[in-house]
Amino acid sequence: MSAETAGPETLGHLSEEPKGEDPGSSKARTITGKSPMRIALGRLLRDKIALVCLAVVLFFVFIAIFAGPLQKLFGVTTETAFPTQFLNLDGTPRAEFGPPYGGFTWDHPFGVAPRTATDNLAFWLQGAQNSLQIATTATIVAMLVGVTLGLLGGFLGGIVDRIIGFVTDFFLTLPFILAALTIAPIINERFRDSPNYPTIQVIALIGVLAGFGWMSVARLIRGEVLSLREREFVQAARVMGMPTRRLLLKELLPNLVAPIVVASSLMLPAFVAAEAGLAFLGIGVTTRPSWGQTLNQGIGFFDNYPLYLYQPLIAIVAIVLALNLLGDALRDALDPKTRR
């Protein structure tokens, strides 16, 4: 059997040899002049999924920030209604107020709620605001706690690290749902007389979410710090007599921006979902509109009025998915070693 006379292996290199670049040329200068952040941003901008997700997230952020003015624009409110004016005997809205039996109406673009006859659009907008507000605040709190403890534990080591490690492990062993189920009624009972009851409920919820969210961050940061603190620039700074606080804030923290950004971007959707889940179970915020509550109420009407259930459902799925994918894209962009 004869072999091909001119196979690729006999023709030598087909690939292009990198040409020797002149370090002084303009092309080389632009490459070396990019900061790591700009490189990451460039990668992110080339990622089409990330951009779509970013658009979705920005849409919801816009809704959340302008929930009040948007309600005024559409002429809807979250005020309690007198339901008999709007509803059939079985609790579904009458045809003139929109779905499920009637068509679209500008008075109630999303229709009215069964049983209570409140406006769906107003509740949906306000739900977005509450959801993002709670999730964002909880993320910030969890990050502050987690990063601080992670930095201290990793850098100081010794007894401090052991104590922080123990506390972290302890919190990890607490079952989240069980603890939330127990804490919510206690707090509600304790502060039920207070005129600030709604605010206290929100703060308590943020506390519960953040209290059960900081541990992974603390561990992540501690691991990063452990590897960073033996690096030359840290050793050099130490030798020069830099105080610990400055070391942590000026030398270590800037090098931890990437993991912190990635961790927050993945924590945010987890908190959005957790907030909705707790509201669904009836232990989240009960005094303000919430997507989870609407979900819970919508189940009984799914046969006759599926749109009522789909509104919060689609919103939750869209924002949680978008935030998750965006978080993944951010991680890929910031940390090329883990690229898929």
Phi then psi for 212, rounded to 5 degrees? -105, 10
Between 89 and 178, CB nearer to other proteins = 89
The distance of closest approach from Cβ of residue 90 to other proteins in the complex, given in angstroms and rounded to an integer, is: 4
Residues 6 or more apart whose Cβ sits within 8 Å of residue 261 = 330, 334
Q: Does 77 bind other proteins (CB under 8 A)?
A: no
Residue type, 229: R
Strand boundaries in the chain, DSSP class E: none
d(CA 271, CA 292): 12
Between 255 and 297, CB nearer to other proteins = 297
Q: Does 85 bind other proteins (CB under 8 A)?
A: yes
Sequence length of the chain is 340
Out of 30, 84, 173, 227, name the contact with other proteins by CB under 8 A. 84
Between 60 and 291, CB nearer to other proteins = 291
Size of the site for other proteins (CB under 8 A): 33
Handedness of CA 5, 10, 11, 15 (dihedral sign): positive
The distance of closest approach from Cβ of residue 84 to other proteins in the complex, given in angstroms and rounded to an integer, is: 3
Peptide bond into 100 cis (omega under 30): yes
Out of 93, 111, 114, 312, name the contact with other proteins by CB under 8 A. 114
- Do residues 244 and 119 lie in contact, with contact meaning Cβ atoms separated by under 8 Å? no
d(CA 262, CA 50): 13
The distance of closest approach from Cβ of residue 78 to other proteins in the complex, given in angstroms and rounded to an integer, is: 10
> What DSSP character marks residue 22?
P
Q: Does 102 bind other proteins (CB under 8 A)?
A: no
Out of 237, 286, 306, 313, name the contact with other proteins by CB under 8 A. 286
Between 6 and 89, CB nearer to other proteins = 89
Applying CB under 8 A, the span of 15-23, 44-52, 61-69, 112-120 interacting with other proteins comes to 112-120
The distance of closest approach from Cβ of residue 293 to other proteins in the complex, given in angstroms and rounded to an integer, is: 7
